[in-house]
Amino acid sequence: MIETQLHMWLVFAFIAVAMYAFASEKIELEISSVAVITGLLLLFYIYPLKDESGNLILNAQSLMSGLADPALITVLSLLVVGQGIVRTGALEKPIRLLVTIRRHHPIIAITLVLTTVLIISAFMNNTPVVVIFIPLMTALAERLHKPTSSVMIPLSYASILGGMTTLIGSSTNLLVSAAVVQAGLPAIKFFDFTVLGMVLAGAGLLYALLVIPKILPEREAVTDGTSLSGKQFIVQLEISADSPLVGEEAVAGQFPSLRNITIRFIQRDDKLLLPPFDDLMLRPGDAVVFAGTRKSLTDAFADNPQIISDFLDIEDDPRAEQGTNQIEKDQMVAEVVIAPASRMIGRALHQINFRYRTHCVVLGIQRRSRMIRTSRMTDIRLEAGDVLLLMGSRADVTRLRNNPDVLLMEWSTRELPALSLARRARFIFGAVVLCAATGLLPIVVAAVAGATAMVATGCLNIHQASRAIDRRIVLLIWAALALGSAMQATGGAVYLAEQVVSLLQGAHVTVILSFFFLLVAFFTNILSNNATAVLFTPVGIGIAQTLQVEPMIFVFAVIFAANCSFATPMGYQTNLLVMGPGHYRFADFFKAGAPLVILIWLVFSVLAPIYYGLI
């Protein structure tokens, strides 16, 4: 018994050191995670934990088994599935529709999305819900000129809050229900705790909308700002016979498919057509010369994927034998600067055979000193310092690093959505969500199958799929699961629960209920929410029986508190899912989530005694 307690206190010390290391920006999260696992392995090898018969209670296999944990495999697989949605641009149209509706009221648009997430999460597993909305929120934040760090944590929290309102809203709730039945109590019904759950969720959602965006740092990649979207390029688009722009008529001087673009002139045969273009209809062979940004160009591609073919001119492509789809789906945009001693200086694009030498297409030209207004793009004589906006495959763009005539701006490279594969990605994603939500397949099976299908069908290649997996997430979950195993094996959580009850002996039941809630909420952010729920449900029932009150009151406290996984990234899977897209650090979750845990605790402590008639 004394040895077990010593192990328990050593594990408490490990948890304290681990939490400090995770929160410290001086130590890489990967190093901290591996150090925690290594320390636990050494501890239980040098000083093993054994039962009365001398058998090992906790060995290296138990501590290392986190790498095969279904929760970890599920998170990694869903990250790959989500990357497939992003890569194919499958949610571009819903985003544009949402932003169009509330273009001038960003808080209303974000409120609408988070409320939708909360409601959906009440009726289906919230992990796939967050996977659905991560690319949507990323695009929404970009369109509304807000950093993604201001919306990703609220997205995760909204899904967790929705999960605490119905029986099937979270796997935590189902585990508590199973523990209740094992204890000989009646099974929890679907809406038994919905009323109080909705009040708690509503309070949490208001906090997520109004407070979190103000306290989180604006941690956005430098290349996501105006450097990518503010430059005006001169662009020349040749209208092919099968282009979707053929027959399009100008409305108020603008062509609908070329929105946010300023048309300079249209070259038709030997005629130069100047604005305004009212009632002008585009024809095959027209050369449209306009000024646009990278953003306006990619928006035009999203509206009409076939426009890419007009730029690529696939029939003349040196690799045309590969096929149209192969060329179109593997495209990147990048910017290069004409080098001071470049052989291209003083020559026009049609004179240097740029396309045949590099396999990259010049989409536009930007000159820093002045805007070029009167020339076709192909007739502009290049100068040192001119910026070319290019489109090409990853391999072709990468080869430009070795081209002495241009300087590749590495930060500017971005993959274009493979829009021709969007329908395929939507089908795979929908199948994963449907199977997981209905229970047709376990979520881990559905997630792994979906990730495999994304690669097998070409929505992602191996390189893109591997980039979706964040090693920080892998190591952090692994370390958290190892700590959880050590906590359960040494009886640390049960010990703390018993100590709290002992300290509060003689206090009013409402005080004990409040502190029990806070204890569970604390542990759910260190252990997994599921482990906390299973561990504390029998403890809560025992406390209620000792106090001679309705046991379900403490059971519902476990449900609400175990879902308060806001203060650490490993507290819940959805926190880990948004950690990469939001560019978050460990401390960001504590800064945003700890006050939310306190808020939910206070609201519960005030309302629960009234609602359950304890006062």
Q: What is the pLDDT of residue 162?
A: 94
What is the maximum span of the chain, computed from C-alpha positions, in angstroms? 96
Q: What is the pLDDT of residue 476?
A: 75
pLDDT of residue 267 exceeding 50? yes
**Sole residue written with tokens 């369109």:** 143
DSSP assignments along 212-264, one per residue: HHHHS-----GGGSHHHHS--EEEEEE--TT-TTTT-B-BTTB-GGGTT-EEE
- Domain parsing of the chain, residue ranges: 227-420
CA atoms of 98 and 102, how far apart (whole Å)? 7
Of the pLDDT bands very low, low, confident and very high (cuts 50, 70, 90), residue 116 is confident
Q: What is the pLDDT of residue 53?
A: 76
Q: What is the pLDDT of residue 516?
A: 92
User: What's the chain's average pLDDT?
Assistant: 81
* pLDDT tens by residue, 75-88: 788 778 878 887 78
Between 9-18, 270-279, 307-316, the lowest mean confidence (pLDDT) is in 307-316
Q: Whole-model pTM?
A: 0.66
Which segment, 65-74, 252-261, 603-612, is predicted with the most confidence on average?
603-612
Of the pLDDT bands very low, low, confident and very high (cuts 50, 70, 90), residue 312 is low
Q: Which of 329, 238, 324 is nearest to 284 (CA)?
A: 238
* pLDDT tens by residue, 327-353: 456 778 888 999 988 999 989 887 888
Pairing label, strands 56-58, 361-366: unpaired
CA atoms of 285 and 50, how far apart (whole Å)? 82
Phi/psi zone of residue 247: left (φ > 0), alpha (ψ -120 to 50 degrees), beta?
A: left
Q: What would the CATH number be for the domain defined by 227-420?
A: 3.30.70.1450
pLDDT of residue 354 exceeding 50? yes
Between 119-128, 380-389, 586-595, the lowest mean confidence (pLDDT) is in 119-128
What percentage of residues in the chain have a pLDDT greater than 70? 86
Residue with more model confidence, 521 or 489? 521
- Six-digit token pair at 420? 């021709």
Three-state SS at 287: strand
Q: What is the pLDDT of residue 154?
A: 95
CA atoms within 13 A on the CB side of 272: 8
pLDDT of residue 307 exceeding 60? yes
Average pLDDT over residues 275-303: 79
Residue with more model confidence, 300 or 515? 515
Between 129-138, 501-510, 539-548, the lowest mean confidence (pLDDT) is in 129-138
* pLDDT tens by residue, 168-197: 788 788 778 878 887 788 888 888 999 999
Of the pLDDT bands very low, low, confident and very high (cuts 50, 70, 90), residue 103 is low
What is residue 281's DSSP assignment? B
pLDDT of residue 140 exceeding 50? yes
Q: What is the pLDDT of residue 104?
A: 55
CA atoms of 155 and 134, how far apart (whole Å)? 8
Q: Which of 70, 85, 135, 105 is nearest to 421 (CA)?
A: 85
Asked if residue 444 lies in contact with residue 73, where contact means CB atoms within 8 angstroms, the answer is yes
What percentage of residues in the chain have a pLDDT greater than 90? 19
Backbone angles phi, psi at 419, to 5 degrees: -65, -25
Calculate the CA 219 to chain-centre distance.
14
